[in-house]
Amino acid sequence: MSYGNVSLAIERLKPIFGERLSLSAAVREHHGKDTTFHPIKAPDAVAFPNTVTEVQEAMQVCADLRIPVIPYGTGTSCEGHIAALHGGLCIDTSGLRDIRAIRVNDMDATVEAGVTRKELNSHLHHTGLQFPIDPGADASIGGMVSTRASGTNAVRYGTMREQVLSLEVVLPDGSLVQTGTRARKSAAGYDLTHLFVGSEGTLGIVTAVTLRLHALPEHTVAATCSFPSLDSAIGTVIQTIQAGVPIGRVELLDDLQVDAVNRYSKINLDVAPTLIFEFHGSRGAVNDQVALVKDIAEANSGHEFRWAERPEDRSRLWQARHDIWWANIALRPGSQSLPTDVCVPISELAVNIQAAKEDINQANLIAPICGHVGDGNFHACFIVNPEDEDEMRRVEDVNQRMIDRALACGGTCTGEHGIGYGKIDFLRQETGNAFSLHQSIKSAFDPNLIMNPGKIVGMHA
């Protein structure tokens, strides 16, 4: 089996898309490069559908001719998900922008895949509801489904997996299916909805999503607190969770990460392991949460809390956290970023982070560490020159040791970034004999192997 004639596919697609089918080198290269160090792997063409029907028509052409298809949201993924490893057609879903329904009483919404999380929250502004999943980038909802995104709010609200009620998906043959319902629970058959969540465009193209919404908290307070060591900071998080505090967000920055943030975002945190907290709830409940967490932090030698209660102060603090990517790259002008993404049981978090930091220092690498530590997820963000073979070898060695430790204690090679083509070997290591089940699922949904080939399980024609 091999892939078909792309030129013939382009001729058949032109009457459907007209000027919305681009062969421009700049457009193709833009759609073949994510935000990280992965090299450009450009598709042969990029289609910009405005309707679900157009997505189906494009898929039918590609199915008939066995042409690879790479779905594209906003391009903010990290593991080479959008690289056209075997050429083909990129289908950019950003034109699917309809917010089909907001159901305030049921606290759910149905939106098309190209709607971004910030657009959805702007649309919800006067409803008292929110969509809380916050991966940092203003990612598209379809892309967040495909990568099973999470972010800073996951400790309270969960990940995309917990938010998705049902999906509309174009399958590899161009047919359209609806998975799931709006019911809050179901025991009806295989859970197809959550099979597509995290499938990274390898099983079909998500065109619409029905999501859970959540009430906006009455009162929100953010704070920072510095600690003399990583152990004391992480101990504070573990004890806070064990005490049953419904913390809204809790993020860890190591000393190098704090220094990078201070320089880039012009804020003035103590250069030491630091936690950023956010508390949600009624004013009384938030006050109780704050008092308890302050006691826990002080018992772990935490320095004085710095508060950000006004919305503009909270926004500035969290924007600084979300700008970590650019802050890190600024530490070494001309560099690129290679982010890691392990997740471990929280009781194993301190030893894993400390071991990673020691490995980084011994390998003479630059890699600030941050993490969504409330759910055991942390990132060492290597700042690299991809052309330096020795440096990249050292990065690979340190990353492999991080993943070996995570898997040994019951963790995973990726908490939120996904597999793409950058972590296929790690997925194989993590899943063992079950890796063949992943391949069987891919073959069952996509027998011609045209959907984002070379990703997750590495299969291609």
Domains of the chain by range and CATH? 6-94 (3.30.43.10), 97-215 (3.30.465.10), 219-326 (3.30.70.2190), 328-420 (3.30.70.2740)
Angle at 355 between CA 239 and CA 372, to 5 degrees: 45
Rg for the chain, CA atoms, rounded: 22
| Alpha-carbon dihedral sign for residues 290, 291, 297, 298 | positive
Rounded to whole angstroms, the Cα distance separating 103 from 116 reads: 18
Contact 222, 314 (CB under 8 A): yes
Q: Which residue has the tokens 């055991």?
A: 376
Per-residue pLDDT of the chain (461 residues; tens, 9 = 90+): 799 999 999 999 999 999 999 999 999 999 999 888 889 999 999 999 999 999 999 999 999 999 999 999 999 998 999 999 999 999 999 999 999 999 999 999 999 999 999 999 999 999 999 999 998 889 999 999 999 999 899 999 999 999 999 999 999 999 999 999 999 999 999 999 999 999 999 999 999 999 999 999 999 999 999 999 999 999 999 999 999 999 999 999 999 999 999 999 999 999 999 999 999 999 999 999 999 999 999 999 998 889 888 889 899 999 999 899 999 999 999 999 899 999 999 999 999 999 999 999 999 999 999 999 999 999 999 999 999 999 999 999 999 999 999 999 999 999 999 999 989 999 999 999 999 999 999 999 999 999 999 999 999 99
Rounded to whole angstroms, the Cα distance separating 251 from 153 reads: 10
Whole-prediction pTM: 0.94
Q: Is 187 helix (H, G, I), strand (E, B) or coil?
A: coil
Strand partners, 179: 167
Rounded to whole angstroms, the Cα distance separating 439 from 459 reads: 8
